[in-house]
Amino acid sequence: MKTYTFHVSGTHCPSCKIFIEDALNEQAGIMQTIVDLKNETVSLETSLDESQHKLAEMLTEKIKHNGYSLSVEKNTKEKNDQGIIWQALPVGLGFLVLFFLLQKSGILNLGIGGQITPVTSFVIGLIASVSSCLAIVGGLVLSLSAKISQDNTSDTKTFTLFHAGRLISFALLGGVLGAVGNVIGINFTLATILGLFASLVMILLGLNLVGVFVKSKVALPARLFNFFRRIEHKTLTPLVLGFATFFLPCGFTQSMQFSALSSGSFVSGLIIMLVFALGTLPMLVLLSFGSASFAHGKHAPLFFKSAGVVVIGLGLFALLAGLAGLGIINPLFSI
């Protein structure tokens, strides 16, 4: 009977400890597995005669589907990470430059005159999905998707639920706006505060994805952390989150909500908002399912770090704009 200690990567949650211990103990010849989350080590007793390196490989095979891996030396992965961040920075910044140039170019400011028809609201949805609204809604989708894909292999269901929740909420709440008419106003301040919250989540997730401080990984606050766990594992949470995107600040969404408000009936409000949401769908689906396919591909580390850079940039943009919108700081920029 020998005792070995391995370094483990991918442990980001308290439940990982239980999972890894159970998974490894199932293996014949392995017992007394103990995961030390703080030091990111796994110690175990084994009756097998394999070398430590061989064991690490063999056991990694068992748990790698869930994103964990065992190694004998700790620093190999970190060395890679250091190199990847220098590739991820230009990639991420490149996307940010393209995005802001697109905003500044004025291509997206084409005027659409006349009555709102389903076709125009679809087109407006398409434009909105690549506009500055992408900074908040798209940034949030990208950061959550990347995080979920990083942690979880069965992400498709979560994403589908999220998008379904988004479509349902736009249709239902659009209908309600149409039916209620001018009685309720759309509260900007509430939307802006939600947007600030979203931008903080994005920055935190972005830092986490980049893994800026590899040693002391930016740990998510416990509450927020539990919240993500629930997103990943429950059916209701992604639905609710999709639902909540209706209230995120986005000029296009707000003017469509206004159109729904003045449309005068439940059905017409419903159609306007549903079609608008359908217009935004392709881009958002691309972001979430795109992250999933990258996350499971061989460029996954580069993808996560680049996505982190993009998300931090968009988060900062949304944060500064939101603070300016609330009148807390002077607008620093005007794109």
Burial of 53 (0-12, 13-18, 19+ CB in 10 A): exposed
Q: Among residue numbers 235 through 274, which ones bind other proteins (CB under 8 A)? A: 249-252, 254-259
32 φ/ψ angles, rounded to the nearest 5 degrees: 55, 35
User: What x-and-dash track marks residues 80-109 binding other proteins by CB under 8 A?
Assistant: ---x--xx-xx--xx-xx--xx--x-x-xx
Report yes or no: 210 and 305 within 8 Å, Cβ to Cβ. Answer: yes
Q: How far apart are CA 19 and CA 82, in angstroms?
A: 29
By the 8 A CB rule, do 47 and 3 touch?
A: no
Residue 88 sits at the vertex; the CA angle it makes with 292 and 75, to the nearest 5 degrees, is 90
The Cα 294–Cα 301 span in angstroms is 9
Of 131 and 268, the one with the shorter C-beta distance to other proteins is 131
* β-pairing verdict for 69-71 and 30-36: unpaired
In the list 113, 183, 223, 298, the residue contacting other proteins (rule: CB under 8 A) is: 113
> Please, which residues bridge with residue 45 across strands?
3, 31
Least Å from the CB of residue 29 to other proteins: 43
**Interface with other proteins (CB under 8 A), residue from 138, 178, 211, 325:** 325
CB of 94: closest distance to other proteins in angstroms? 6
- State the minimum distance, in angstroms, from the CB of residue 296 to other proteins: 23
From the list 48-56, 128-136, 137-145, 161-169, the region that binds other proteins by CB under 8 A is 128-136
Q: Which residues bind other proteins (CB under 8 A)?
A: 83, 86-87, 89-90, 93-94, 96-97, 100-101, 104, 106, 108-113, 116, 124, 127-128, 131-133, 136, 186, 188-189, 191-192, 195, 249-252, 254-259, 313, 317-318, 320-327, 331-335
